[in-house]
A = this chain, B = another copy of it.
Amino acid sequence: MTLNDLRRIPLFEPLTSEQLARIHTGLRERRCEAGERLFAQGDVARHFFLVADGSVKLSRLSRDGDEKVIEVIQAGQLFAEAVMFMDERRYPVNATTVTETRLILFEHAPLLGLLDESPDVALKLLGSLSRRIHGLLSQLDELTLHNATYRLISYLLSEGRATAGEVRLAVPKQVIASRLSMQPETLSRILARLRTRRLIEVQGDTIKLCDERGLRAMLES
């Protein structure tokens, strides 16, 4: 990861070259295969991460081992920056690679040191944390205010927005199911139902949204 790569990350955009170089010193690269555990909930946090390639799932575990995926992180996204500012600096989630993945690890200290001299970076961080809060609020009311079908459809619509009505799932369906807080069986059944109604077509990990209008209509009821 070169200095120029670094500059392309929005968070670092306000920094001078000298500051950027300081960040660059506390930086490491790591390659993982699918299924590697990066850190566990409760671990003392030493880094935050950038997914350069691949995908990582963040999840919480209940005492008896049930897992709930909170978020799936894709290439280009930062994660675990918020931990730097927690009272105890411990990760509140588990992180596990879902596919083969290339990661950049950032040490806390260099960035923390910069906060004093660059209020702009502080503002960027505040912005990114409040976006995360917003996202979590959405997840919360999707869960309580809407049923499984609604959640799946609105997930498909949001994913399909960029890609001309075709959604390619970057991670196994089980992971999507957990992210949407349902069992794999339920996800499968809902897809089947949408398929018989000719609203979508499913081919392995690719889902074609045949009737976006119809899908949207289902969100109303």
Annotate A65-81 by CB proximity to B: 1 below 8 A, 0 otherwise. 01010100000000000
Q: Are B141 and A143 in contact (CB under 8 A)?
A: no
Residue among A85, A115, A181 having the largest count of chain B Cβ atoms under 10 Å? A85
Q: For the side of the interface on A, what is the size category?
A: 35 or more
Contact of A127 with B by CB under 8 A: yes
**Residue numbers in B under 8 Å from A84 (CB-CB):** 126, 130
Complex CA distance for A146 and B143, rounded to whole angstroms: 13
21 CB contacts below 8 A, A to B, read A60-B140, A60-B145, A62-B145, A70-B140, A82-B129, A84-B130, A85-B127, A85-B129, A86-B130, A86-B131, A86-B134, A87-B127, A92-B133, A92-B137, A115-B122, A116-B119, A125-B126, A133-B133, A136-B136, A136-B137, A139-B140
Question: Chain A residues in contact with chain B, CB under 8 A?
Answer: 60, 62-63, 66, 68, 70, 82-87, 92-93, 115-116, 119, 122-123, 125-127, 129-134, 136-137, 139-141, 143-146, 181, 220
